[in-house]
Amino acid sequence: MFIYEFKVNPKPQEILAIKEAIRTSQFVRNKVLRFWMDNRGVGKTEMFRYNTSLRKEFKFVEDLNSHACQTAVERVLKAVNRFYDNCKKQIPGKKGYPKFKKYSRSVEYKVSGWKLSENRKHITFTDKKGIGNLKLIGSRDLNFVAIEQIKRVRILRRADGYYVQLSLQLDPRDTVLPITPSQKAVGIDVGIKYFLADSQGNIEPNPQFYRQGEQQLNRRNRRKSKKYRQGKPQSQNYHKARCLYALKHLKVSTIQREEFVKRVALRLIKSNDLVAYEDLNVKGMVKNRHLSKSITDAGWSKFRRWLDYFGYKYGKITIAVFPYNTSQNCSNCGEKVQKSLSTRTHICPHCNYVEDRDINAALNILQKGLSTVGHTESLKLGEFDPLAELEQSCSVKIGL
C-alpha cells in the first residue's frame, strides 16, 4: 500500500463534524471491545453483527458511514489478534491486552462515504455527519491515480491541524525510474556520538533534536501544568498551552527527526547498491536509564524502517547483520580487541591497525553483510555445505 497525505483547512462547522465522526468511530470501537470482553470467545462474525445492532440502536452511529464503522471493528480485531499472537509467542513482559480508547485522532473510510472532485483537488464526504467538501493541499497529483486504486481514506487530527490520507493499492517501485547501479557497498554503524559512521570513512553528526528543544519543551510543559485544574473542567488557556506543547513535540519528532533520518536513508540507498546495518534490539536497549533518552533521540528504529523502504523502492539490497562483537573485533586482522564504551579509537595490538571505533565497526558490519548476501534469496546459510557441493561437482567433471 502507498500513502498520499494532504493538508486540509476545514471551517469551524466542518471541524465540529470531523470531531463528531472521530468520536462516533471511537464509540463503536469501545462498544465492540466491551462486547468481546463480556463474551470471551466471540469471533469476527459476531463482532460485525454487534456493530450492525449498534447502528440500529443509536442514530448518531447510523449517521456515520457503514464502512467507517466497519474499520472501527477491524481495529478491535487487530488488537485482539495481536494480543493472542503475543501470548502464543510467549514474549516477555506485557502481552498488549486491548484497551479502551479515550482520545482517538482519526476516522477511516473504505471505498464509500467519500467522493473526489473532477479536478481531484477536493474531496467530499457524503455521510450524514456533515463534513462536506474539503480542499486537498499538497504536491501530489491525483489525476494519475485511478479511483479503483484508492482503498482507504482517513481523516487524521494532529497538533498542527487536520490531514486527509489516501491509501493506494500501488507498488512504490512503479513510481520511480530505474537507477544506474553505483557498484558500491557500504556498512553503517549507528551510534550516539555520531548518528552513523560508514565503512567508506564518512561520519554523519548526531543532530540531537530533542536535546536542543528540551529547554523549550520543559518551559511549555510547566505553563501547561500551571493551568491544570484538578477535578474541574479545563479552561481555554489550558487547552492553548497544551496545543503549544504538542506542537513543539510534533516539530521535534516529525518535522525534524523524521525528515532527517529520511534524507540520510535516501542518500545512502541512492549512492550504494548494498547497505549493511546492525540488527539492534532498540526496545531492549532503551531500558538502560543512562542511555534511553539519547537512543530515543537518535531515531534508530525510524532510520531502519526508511532504509528498508527505500531499498525496496529503488531495488537495492539492505541487510541486517548480527551486531555481536562488531565494535570489538579488528576489521583488519579479525582479532578481538576488548574496549569500553568510552574508548573511541580502535588500536589493534596484533596488527597495529588504528581507526575510529565506529568506522572499524562499520567495516566489520560490511564484511558480515557481504558474507551472507549470496544466501539471502537462495538457500539460507547453514542449509548446505559449500565444500561438499564443490567436491561433488569436481568428482563429476573428472569422472570419479
Do 273 and 316 form a contact (C-beta atoms < 8 A)? yes
Q: What number is the average pLDDT over the span 46-71?
A: 95
Question: Looking at the predicted structure, is the pLDDT value of residue 354 above 80?
Answer: yes
In this structure, the answer to whether residues 333 and 194 fall within a common structural domain is: yes
Within-domain flag for 41: yes
Residues 199, 272 within the same domain: yes
Instruction: Find the mean pLDDT for residues 381-387.
Output: 41
**Is 76 part of any domain?**
yes
Average pLDDT rounded to a whole number, residues 59-80:
95
User: Does residue 215 form part of some domain?
Assistant: no
Per-residue pLDDT at 373: 66
State the residue range of the domain holding 144.
2-170
Local confidence band at 195 (pLDDT 50, 70, 90 cut-offs) = very high
Does a structural domain hold residue 252? no
201 and 117 co-located in one domain: no
Mean pLDDT over residues 98-113, rounded? 93
For 213, residues 6+ apart whose C-beta sits below 8 A from its C-beta are 248, 251, 252
> Is pLDDT at 391 greater than 60 in this prediction?
no
Rounded Cα distance between 284 and 299, Å, is 14
281 in the same domain as 142: no
- The predicted-structure confidence for 141-150, as pLDDT tens digits, reads as follows 898 888 999 9
pLDDT confidence of 384, banded at 50, 70, 90?
very low
Task: Give the highest mean pLDDT range of 69-73, 370-374, 384-388.
Answer: 69-73
Q: Which of 123, 111, 96 is CA-nearest to residue 10?
A: 123
The dihedral region occupied by 208, where left means phi > 0, alpha psi between -120 and 50, and beta the remainder, is left
198 domain-assigned: yes
**Are 252 and 210 contacting, i.e. CB atoms less than 8 angstroms apart?**
yes
SS3 89: helix
Does 276 or 177 have the greater pLDDT score? 276
Q: Mean pLDDT, to the nearest integer, of 268-285?
A: 91
Q: What is the pLDDT of residue 157?
A: 94
The answer, yes or no, to whether residue 35 has pLDDT greater than 90, is: yes
Confidence of residue 374 (pLDDT cuts 50, 70, 90): low
- Residues 158 and 265 placed together within one structural domain of the fold: no
pTM of the model: 0.83
Same domain, 109 and 200: no
CA-CA distance, 255 to 349, in Å (whole number)? 45
Looking at the fold, whether 151 and 17 belong to one and the same domain comes out as yes
| Whether residue 274 sits in one domain with residue 157 | no
Regarding whether 151 and 80 lie in a shared domain, the answer is yes
Q: Are residues 107 and 190 in the same domain?
A: no
pLDDT in tens, 218-252: 999 999 999 999 888 889 999 999 999 999 999 99
Segment 15-25, tens digit of pLDDT: 999 999 999 99
Q: How confident is the model at residue 395 (pLDDT cuts 50, 70, 90)?
A: very low
**Residue type at 71 in one-letter notation:** T
CB contact set of 344 (below 8 Å; sequence gap of 6+): 193, 356, 357, 358
Mean pLDDT of the chain, nearest integer: 88
CATH number at residue 370: 3.30.420
Question: Per the domain annotation, does 230 fall within a domain?
Answer: no
| Number of domains into which the chain is organized | 2
Q: Is the pLDDT of residue 339 over 70?
A: yes
Whether 157 and 76 map to the same domain: the answer is yes
CA–CA separation, 312 and 50 (whole Å)? 41
Q: How sure is the predictor about 325, in pLDDT bands with cuts at 50, 70 and 90?
A: confident
117, part of any domain: yes
Reply yes or no on whether the pLDDT at 51 is more than 90: yes
Can you give the pLDDT at residue 93?
Answer: 83
**According to the model, what pLDDT value does residue 65 have?**
94
Residue 295 inside a domain? The answer is yes
Same domain? For 12 and 155 the reply is yes
56-60, 371-375, 384-388: range with lowest mean pLDDT: 384-388
